[in-house]
Amino acid sequence: MTDNAQKNVLLTGASGALGRMLAPRLAAAGYALRLSDIVPFPDPVPQGATFVQADLSDAQAVAGIMDGIGCVLHFGGVSLEKPFDEILAANIVGITNLFEAARRQKARVVFASSNHTIGFYERGTMLDTDMPYRPDGYYGLSKAYGELLGRMFFDKHGVESVHIRIGSCLPEPVEARNLSTWLSHDDLFRFVCSAVDAPVTGHAIVWGASANTCSWWEADDRERIGYAPQDNAEDFAEKIASIRTDDAITERYQGGVFCAQGFSRDTP
């Protein structure tokens, strides 16, 4: 483990599905780990880790959980499409508070962004991370805000950040869309460790997908952090290739069902 890995690491959103998966792995890997969420941690706190309950929309609470932290893994916030007022406090005010605290602590931010920042590109369109944003809802818009916030904080304050545009992070793929979007739990853990340990990151954006044969996503900043996914959704193709929805909007766009939610155009 590098010297960077010895930094105190904060994991927000620790009580969510991905947080609960990452927490014991990070603790077992030897990171000095602080967990936080707005709700209690539902599992036994891993040996060597601590848990602090906090609301990310409370700037003072965020400053408290960030005290002494060298790198924050930001998985907190609303993870589904919701009305704007529900997204605002958790996903926009929350990440702004977190970057302000990271600036004061001179800490690195690793942000769980989303493929929903680009959800309205049609399936099969090959994208790199320099392509314009096409968010598919308020959730995706909040993730685009987080990426742009990271860009501004790096340019203006030198705060390093790594943003992973998570596709479908599941134990295994469950539908045809996942042949392109699947991110295995093992690959997410590999990414997180790489993002914490990298000597220098600048402002980096990385596609959050495994090494899928049918990926829609190409060039990104993964080499800068030394991240190399190893799993491939194609291993499950025979099982899932025929599993699709009967909704034309869901099936047309990369963001899937998020694009269909509230869709009111007469035509795509």
Q: How many domains does the chain have?
A: 1
Instruction: Confirm whether 266 is domain-assigned.
Output: no
What pLDDT, in 10s, does the model give residues 90-140? 999 999 999 999 999 999 999 999 999 999 999 999 999 999 999 999 999
Do strands 71-74 and 182-183 pair parallel, antiparallel, or not at all (unpaired)?
unpaired
- The stretch 225-251 carries a mean pLDDT of 97
Q: Tell me the C-alpha distance between 50 and 33, whole Å.
A: 7
Q: Tell me the C-alpha distance between 195 and 152, whole Å.
A: 19
Instruction: Confirm whether 103 is domain-assigned.
Output: yes
Instruction: Confirm whether 205 is domain-assigned.
Output: yes
Residues annotated as catalytic (active site), given as ranges: 139
Q: For position 6, what pLDDT does the model report?
A: 47
Structure tokens, 228? 């190399």
Instruction: Confirm whether 106 is domain-assigned.
Output: yes
* Model pTM score: 0.96
Confidence of residue 267 (pLDDT cuts 50, 70, 90): confident
Instruction: Confirm whether 268 is domain-assigned.
Output: no
Instruction: Confirm whether 134 is domain-assigned.
Output: yes
Which of 70, 60, 43, 111 has the alpha carbon at shortest distance from 51? 43
**pLDDT of 5 above 50:** no
**pLDDT of 7 above 80:** no
- Domain with 245, as residue range(s), is 3-260
Confidence of residue 268 (pLDDT cuts 50, 70, 90): confident
In percent, how much of the chain has pLDDT > 90?
A: 96
Instruction: Confirm whether 267 is domain-assigned.
Output: no
- The stretch 51-63 carries a mean pLDDT of 98
Q: For position 2, what pLDDT does the model report?
A: 41
What pLDDT, in 10s, does the model give residues 59-101? 999 999 999 999 999 999 999 999 999 999 999 999 999 999 9
Q: Which residues are registered as beta bridge partners of 8?
A: 32
Q: Tell me the C-alpha distance between 141 and 139, whole Å.
A: 5
Instruction: Confirm whether 72 is domain-assigned.
Output: yes
Q: For position 257, what pLDDT does the model report?
A: 98
Confidence of residue 192 (pLDDT cuts 50, 70, 90): very high
* CATH number of the domain residue 26 falls in: 3.40.50.720
